[in-house]
Amino acid sequence: MVSDAVRDLIGRKRTIEILELLISSESLHYSEIENSVDTSSDMITDTLDLLCKHELVERIEENPRRVKYKPTETGRDFIQAVEKIEEILEVQIDS
């Protein structure tokens, strides 16, 4: 059975989008994420907190007012697993 944590990560609207953005950029400051994702700052903050909680993203505090986010190896593995699920679904749709 799939855990609530996995359901929460996959089910949230911007989780995959933000994690993919960080992976494609290697690391970004909060303001760069905010400028790239069309959603509220509260949603971005909540999503980043969730990704950090599950160690999919690392929060790097350069100074108290400047924070950078960087995907972890686990975050990269997570996205690969989601992409695999997507492949499975595409095969089923094509059949």
For 77-89, how does the pLDDT look when each residue is reduced to its tens digit (9 = 90+)? 999 999 998 888 8
Instruction: Give the pLDDT score at 19.
Output: 97
**Beta-strand runs (E) in the chain:** 28-29, 57-63, 66-71
pLDDT per position as a tens digit, 37-86? 999 999 999 999 999 999 999 999 999 889 999 999 999 999 999 999 88
Task: Output the pTM of the full model.
Answer: 0.88
Sequence-ordered list of residues with C-beta below 8 angstroms from that of 79, at least 6 positions apart, any chain: 16, 19, 20, 23
